[in-house]
Amino acid sequence: MIANHEPIAKDGGATNMNLVATQAAEQKLLLSTYDRHPVLFTRGEGVHLVDDAGTRYLDLLSGIGVCGLGYNHPAINKAIAEQVATGLLHTSNLFFHSHTATLALKLTELTGMDRVFLCNSGTEAWEAALKLARAHAELLRSEGKHIGTRILALEHSFHGRTMGSVATTHKHKYREPFQPVMPGVTFVPFNDVDALRSAFSEDICAICIEPLQGEGGIHPVPQEFFAAARELCDSTGALLLADEIQSGMGRTGKWCAYQHTGIQPDVTTLAKPIAGGLPMGAMCCNEEAARAITPGMHGTTFGGGPLVCAVALAVIDEIERSSLLDHVSEVGAYFKQQLEEFASRHPVVAEVRGMGLMLGMDMHSAEIAGELQGRMMLEKHILLNRTSETVLRFLPPFLLTHAQVDETIAALESLLPEIEAKQTSEVEAAGEAVHG
């Protein structure tokens, strides 16, 4: 039965709707999954987005870490145009095309892994990693080893929104409405080596780690904890799974954040910036883990198609050609230093965390953090994100410059004192009202 909707535009074209009409149509037609900000973007250029009124925004979010090369990048445009010209956008994974093996070779070289599964998103890559861990444990049992099916994950973790991924995601608000989720997951306190050792046994088939937690508030996993997880997995044959969906593909100045530690996991997952804004994910693993999967056990319809593989190769080539990893390290260190100096001038800032261009500024007040984020967007036209209520998260394109960092710090500096004064005034007024 077709619902009796009012037409959303007289010409039937959604692209002609203004912000107000778009908001009204989405409120009526879309599933309510996001609280959107009142901005309608119409184009992008470099590290800037432009709204329907022609206002330019400095984008320090890059589509939650997706647009690593920013917008309208010539290398991406060229790859898309060349692939479109072939007329080959999809073939199914029952046949070959010329980009899959080339991309898999690049990804194995960059990650230190042996094999790759290409898919459509980060959560699909993580689902593949979880299934691989269970299949690998089953294989070991068939070979006479004692290993169970349980999985250890960390507190504050976020691994995605599908049923397996959300089962390994710690935040209650993501899991609780969908209970029962996949059973057999135990959460371990972040950076508590003793708790990790206590929770581990032959019943564990995998330990899940984000080397740099993103949604959880930009928390780097300490070397000692990562090393303990590696040691425990080695003792039984369990797999060490590293979720690099947000931190991978150059975001921290190395291809994967675990490469800062010198510890190699058995499995890693990549997504967000891997294909320059097109949907793509990848699960990479070593040969030992890969032997657990045989044809028919797992698959994907769209994953690894010709268009997205061509773009991913162009993204990797551009990062290498332009030495962007060095640039991310250098400008990221400058950005972090400037944020730390800003924090030293403002006691409301609790801590600055992260590495490369994956940074977080944790504030003591969720109210101040929220107002600062909103006014940065609406008054200074600088886009950033807030996570864990109090943490301002910075995930800019890899092309960010020192001047744009300075612009950001100046904007924060101009807004925060006023917001702090306003909050203090409101608290004092509330106190006076209570006491009389």
**CA dihedral defined by 337, 338, 342, 343, rounded to 10 degrees?**
-30
Give CA separation, 385 vs 36, 69, 149, 319, in Å: 12, 19, 36, 25
Spatial contact of 248 and 216, defined as CB atoms under 8 Å apart: no
Spatial separation of the C-alpha atoms in residues 238 and 150, rounded to whole Å: 10
Would you say the C-alpha torsion 215, 219, 222, 223 has a positive or negative sign? positive
Residue 300 labeled ligand binder: yes
Residue 123 labeled ligand binder: yes
Residue 161 labeled ligand binder: yes
Residue 158 labeled ligand binder: yes
Residue 243 labeled ligand binder: yes
- The residues pairing with 274 across neighbouring beta strands, listed in sequence order, are none
Selection from 196, 100, 105 nearest residue 152 by Cα: 196
Token readout for 357 is 């261009």
Spatial separation of the C-alpha atoms in residues 335 and 339, rounded to whole Å: 6
Residue 305 labeled ligand binder: no
Residue 350, H or E segment: strand 349-355
Residue 246 labeled ligand binder: yes
Residue 424 labeled ligand binder: no
Collapsing DSSP to helix, strand or coil, 137 comes out as: helix
Cis peptide bond N-terminal to 180, omega within 30 = yes
Binding-site members for pyridoxal 5'-phosphate are 122-123, 158, 243-246, 301
Binding-site members for N(2)-acetyl-L-ornithine are 161, 300
Binding-site members are 122-123, 158, 161, 243-246, 300-301
